[in-house]
Amino acid sequence: MKDSDPDKRSWFSDHISPDLTALHSVRERIYSGRTKYQSVEVIKTGSFGVCLVLDGKVQSSEADEFIYHEALVHPAMLAHPHPETVFIAGGGEGATLREVLAHKTVKKAVMVDIDEEVVNLCRRLLPSWHQNAFDDPRTELYFSDARRYLEETSQTFDVVIIDLVDPLEEGPARLLYTREFYQIVRQKLGSDGIMSVQAEPAEWGNLDNFVAIVSTLRSVFSIARPYQAHVPSFLSLWGFVAASQTLDPSKLTAEEIDSRISKRISKKLKSYDGLTHQAMFTIPKHIREHLLACQRIITDKQPISAY
Q: Which residues are catalytic?
A: 163
Rounded CA gap, 161 and 194, in Å? 9
237 to 24, 45, 128, 280: CA distances (angstroms): 19, 21, 24, 10
Decide: 97 and 111 in contact? Cβ < 8 Å: yes
CA-closest candidate to residue 78, choices 268, 256, 226, 282: 256
- Is 274:257 a contact under the CB 8 Å cutoff? yes
C-alpha 40: how far from its chain's center? 18
8 A C-beta contact, residue 271 and residue 231: no
Cα 125 to chain center, whole Å? 20
> What is the number of helices (H) and of strands (E) in the chain?
10, 12
Question: How is 249-282 classified by DSSP, letter by letter?
Answer: GGG--HHHHHHHHHHHBSS--SS-SHHHHHHHT-
Do residues 115 and 38 lie in contact, with contact meaning Cβ atoms separated by under 8 Å?
yes
- Select from 45, 39, 60, 209 the least CA-distant residue to 126: 60
Q: What φ, ψ does residue 198 adopt, rounded to 5°?
A: -75, 130
Distance CA(304)–CA(307), nearest Å, equals 10
Whose CA is closest to 79, among 248, 272, 276? 248
